[in-house]
Amino acid sequence: MKGPWKILISLFSLIFVVIFAIQNTANVTVNLFLTKITVPIVMVILITLIIGVIIGLLVSFASVSRARRNTKKVEQELSDLKRMQTTNVQAKESKLVN
């Protein structure tokens, strides 16, 4: 169910961006450090959007990587605890048998 919603939202977002771009074609002057550049306002907005998406993906990637490391650490601890529990149970069983 997750896939169709994602595609639908992406499609609506794309349509919104295209309509927005068509309506905002006026030129603006951008002061970038020591230079002045005249570009359509839609280019400024789209470039800013792309930079924001890239930054968001990088931050998201860092969070996901951290979560994966933590998951592996917890899984290793769980495995160790299970191994210890099995060893303890076997030791208690051998004491009961003897």
Percent of the chain surpassing pLDDT 70: 96
Residues 59, 53: Cα–Cα separation, whole Å: 10
Domains of the chain, by residue range, sit at 4-97
- Summarize the confidence of residues 68-90 as an average pLDDT: 90
**pLDDT beyond 90 at 74:** yes
- Summarize the confidence of residues 80-90 as an average pLDDT: 87
pTM, 2 dp: 0.55
Distances (CA, A) of 53 to 7, 41, 48, 62: 18, 18, 9, 14
- Identify the pLDDT of residue 86: 87
- Identify the pLDDT of residue 28: 92
Residues 97, 65: Cα–Cα separation, whole Å: 48
